[in-house]
Amino acid sequence: MSTPHNSAEPGDFAPAVLMPGDPKRAERMAASLLADARRVTEVRGIPGFTGTVAAGPYAGRDLSIMASGMGMPSITIYATELFRFYGVERIIRVGTAGGISPLVDVGDVVLGFGAHTTSSMNELRIPGTHFAAVADLRMAAAALAAAGERRVQAGTVISSDHFYFSIPGQLDAMIRHGVLAVEMEAAALYGVAAEFGKGALAVLTISDHLTKDTPDMTADERESIFQGALDLAVAAAFA
């Protein structure tokens, strides 16, 4: 049984799936994190891998990695199918975000504990209600505990439909309300997890900053800092 967007068979995915946006990053993560990784799907160039954790405290445990593509409609399709058809219990989005709050710097890791959104997708879920899109507390606590001495912040992010457009005044209001960073998927992922009674968390690396004049990370820096965030994501996978 495959789905319109996933050619894997039931049982091909582990209970926990790490989900970067970028298909190439999913491949690199599978090569670096997993032993015996096998490709279980690649519909529309979106790869999914399953293997066992190669090293560290969770070595030998089954883990999957699948890309989400960009934006809330895309992650909603893949997350819905993983929860509904493949027995997945936890999805950890691992991605980049633009810093908003003066409290975060480029290179920091942010746990998106709650996600505001400009999208209407969650507004449709509970009629007449502004949906509260939140991460799984146990998973967030495990990620925070795995951070040790590293600089990690947990708080709200904004999941935006737009990368290149924002309403005048919106950014200032976000700063006033303590929003840490902007990305494009977490709120929808949390909505899907709530729908299926499953767990989700966004572990975000700050790759650029919207309100501070700091240089953006180079591709190499981005990749090495991103690797550091993966320890937190793996801890959340097995919380």
Residues 37, 54: Cα–Cα separation, whole Å: 10
Q: Does the footprint of ligand HPA cover residue 6 (CB under 6 A)?
A: no
Q: Does the footprint of ligand HPA cover residue 71 (CB under 6 A)?
A: no
Candidate list 111, 184, 229, 239; residue touching ligand HPA; CB under 6 A: 184
Q: Does the footprint of ligand HPA cover residue 119 (CB under 6 A)?
A: no
Candidate list 24, 145, 151, 163; residue touching ligand HPA; CB under 6 A: 163
Query: Which segment (29-37, 48-56, 113-121, 203-211) binds ligand HPA by CB under 6 A?
Result: 203-211
Q: What is the DSSP letter of 20?
A: -
Nearer to ligand HPA, 51 or 71 (CB): 71
* 78: three-class secondary structure by DSSP: helix
Structure tokens at 42: 């690649």
Q: Does the footprint of ligand HPA cover residue 22 (CB under 6 A)?
A: no
Structure tokens at 158: 């904004």
Residue 191, CA distances (Å) to 104, 123, 152, 196 in order:
25, 10, 24, 9
Nearer to ligand HPA, 28 or 84 (CB): 28
- How many residues of this chain bind ligand HPA (CB under 6 A)? 11
Residues 72, 121: Cα–Cα separation, whole Å: 8
Query: Do 93 and 113 contact (CB within 8 A), yes or no?
Result: no
Q: Taking CB under 6 A as the criterion, which residues in 73-92 touch ligand HPA?
A: none
Nearer to ligand HPA, 136 or 183 (CB): 183
Nearest C-alpha neighbor of 239 from the set 86, 155, 137: 137
Count other C-beta atoms under 10 Å from residue 169's C-beta.
8
Min dist CB 132 to ligand HPA, Å, is 21
User: What's the angle, vertex CA 28, arms to CA 24 and CA 32, rounded to 5?
Assistant: 170
Query: Which segment (9-17, 40-48, 116-124, 207-215) binds ligand HPA by CB under 6 A?
Result: 207-215
Strands 62-66, 90-99: parallel, antiparallel or unpaired by DSSP? Answer: unpaired
Structure tokens at 238: 């097995």
Q: Does the footprint of ligand HPA cover residue 200 (CB under 6 A)?
A: no
Q: Does the footprint of ligand HPA cover residue 161 (CB under 6 A)?
A: no
Query: Which segment (22-30, 96-104, 131-139, 226-234) binds ligand HPA by CB under 6 A?
Result: 96-104
Candidate list 41, 74, 76, 207; residue touching ligand HPA; CB under 6 A: 207
Residues 157, 118: Cα–Cα separation, whole Å: 11
Min dist CB 177 to ligand HPA, Å, is 17
Kindly list the catalytic residues. Answer: 208
Structure tokens at 154: 């947990």
Binding site residues, ligand HPA, CB under 6 A: 96-98, 160, 163, 182-184, 207-208, 210
